[in-house]
């Protein structure tokens, strides 16, 4: 399969590209490397340094004739979306429409879209774990932009017949992760723990997330590229809720060191509890996560110790 991965030089993309190449696919990566790094990628993929907001991507994608596009390129920081909603929308909505225009004009087989659990907002405890049918009530412009793109995907299918799979990622972590984005808390913690430094938790530490290893996310994307169950939205998650205080305890168990923790004020747009139901993805994509949080954290801390 000939696959374009936008944002492929980023942290999730670097895991995905490795799996795609290992499976014998022909891979092209489009990235503006504002947050990504070509050094994250293995040999064997073609690299296009371009910005999805540029109209120039459309003829280039059309000429290449891809079988599928995996659209990872995005602005992923909640705080940035609050500070500059227009910038967030340009990246996540306008940039995505450029990708979709190129896809439908070149008759790409399908688009896989990296969506987010942030679209659900702060869900009542009685509604946990969150299913795909849950009402969408984003608390940030970042979450809103991703929800908006899901609606664009459905409309592109209805109007142009473009197949899609939207994957709502839980909090992704792993090697080569930066300090930004939804799962960036693990990257920040892992770097500081690896260096023997203390960490700051915003809130009381009882806020929860569904942390999923990037390698498992990449495997879920690969499953979405192959499935017949398209034109649907799936949660990619572990279906396990972990508090930040529990996260620190696991890190202490891995490193055999006490972590110095301080607590700060809750930040605007932060969700209190989040855990997603992954049963639909397990059933329809034939996928399930393979990496325990302890194993994934051990890999991640080990990576940052050696970085």
CATH number at residue 130: 3.40.50.720
**Is 193 inside any structural domain?**
no
**Is 170 inside any structural domain?**
yes
**Is 234 inside any structural domain?**
yes
* Per-residue model confidence as pLDDT tens digits over 159-207: 999 999 999 999 999 999 877 655 578 888 888 888 888 999 999 999 9
**Is 56 inside any structural domain?**
yes
Contact 246, 273 (CB under 8 A): no
Q: Is 159 exposed, middle or buried (0-12, 13-18, 19+ CB in 10 A)?
A: exposed
pTM: 0.94
Catalytic residue check, 164: no
**Is 271 inside any structural domain?**
no
Q: What is the pLDDT of residue 33?
A: 96
Q: What is the pLDDT of residue 181?
A: 57
* Per-residue model confidence as pLDDT tens digits over 112-151: 999 999 999 989 989 999 999 999 999 999 999 999 999 9
Q: CB under 8 Å to 101, separation ≥6 — which residues?
A: 58
End-to-end C-alpha distance for the chain, whole angstroms: 33
Outline where the chain has alpha helix (H).
11-22, 57-64, 78-83, 85-89, 95-105, 141-160, 184-194, 214-226, 244-255, 279-285, 293-306
Q: How many domains does the chain divide into? A: 1
Q: What is the pLDDT of residue 183?
A: 57
Q: What is the pLDDT of residue 213?
A: 97
Which stretches in the chain have pLDDT values below 70? 180-183, 269, 307
What H or E segment, with its residue span, contains residue 5? strand 2-6
CA within 13 Å, CB half, 206: 1
Q: What is the pLDDT of residue 178?
A: 78
**Is 267 inside any structural domain?**
no
**Is 250 inside any structural domain?**
no
The token pair at 98 is 């450029």
Phi-psi label, residue 35: left if phi above 0, alpha if psi -120 to 50, beta otherwise: alpha
Q: CB under 8 Å to 183, separation ≥6 — which residues?
A: 171, 172, 173, 177, 209, 211
Q: Annotated catalytic residue: which of 142, 156, 164, 213?
A: 142
Q: What is the pLDDT of residue 84?
A: 98
**Is 207 inside any structural domain?**
no
Structural domain range at position 12: 2-174+212-239+276-290
Q: How far is CA 221 from CA 29, 76, 89, 188, in A?
A: 15, 18, 24, 25
3-state secondary structure 70-101: EECCCCCCHHHHHHCHHHHHHHHHHHHHHHHH
């Amino acid at each position: 399969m000939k696959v374009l991965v936008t944002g492929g030089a980023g942290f999730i993309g670097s895991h995905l590209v490795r799996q795609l190449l290992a499976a014998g696919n022909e891979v092209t990566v489009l990235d503006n490397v504002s947050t990504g790094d070509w050094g994250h990628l293995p040999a064997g993929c073609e690299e296009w340094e371009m910005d999805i907001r540029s109209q120039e991507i459309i003829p280039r994608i059309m000429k290449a004739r891809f079988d599928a596009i995996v659209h990872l390129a995005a602005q992923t920081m909640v705080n940035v979306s609050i500070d500059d909603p227009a910038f967030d929308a340009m990246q996540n909505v306008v940039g995505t429409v450029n990708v979709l225009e190129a896809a439908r004009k070149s008759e790409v087989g399908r688009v896989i879209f990296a969506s987010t659990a942030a679209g659900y907002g702060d869900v009542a405890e009685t509604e946990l774990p969150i299913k795909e049918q849950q009402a969408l009530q984003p608390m940030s412009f970042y979450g809103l932009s991703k929800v908006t793109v899901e609606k664009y995907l459905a409309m592109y299918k209805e109007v142009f017949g473009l197949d899609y799979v939207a994957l709502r990622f839980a909090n992704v972590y792993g090697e080569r992760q930066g300090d930004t984005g939804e799962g960036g808390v693990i990257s920040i913690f892992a770097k500081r723990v690896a260096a023997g430094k203390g960490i700051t938790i915003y809130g009381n530490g009882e806020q929860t997330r569904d942390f999923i290893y990037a390698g498992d996310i990449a495997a879920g994307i690969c499953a979405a590229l192959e499935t017949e169950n398209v034109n649907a939205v799936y949660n990619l998650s572990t279906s396990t809720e972990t508090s930040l205080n529990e996260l620190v305890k696991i890190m202490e168990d891995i490193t055999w060191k006490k972590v110095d923790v301080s607590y700060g004020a809750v930040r605007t747009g932060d969700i209190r509890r989040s855990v997603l139901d992954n049963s639909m993805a397990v059933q329809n994509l034939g996928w399930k996560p393979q990496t325990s949080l302890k194993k994934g954290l051990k890999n991640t801390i080990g990576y940052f110790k050696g970085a």
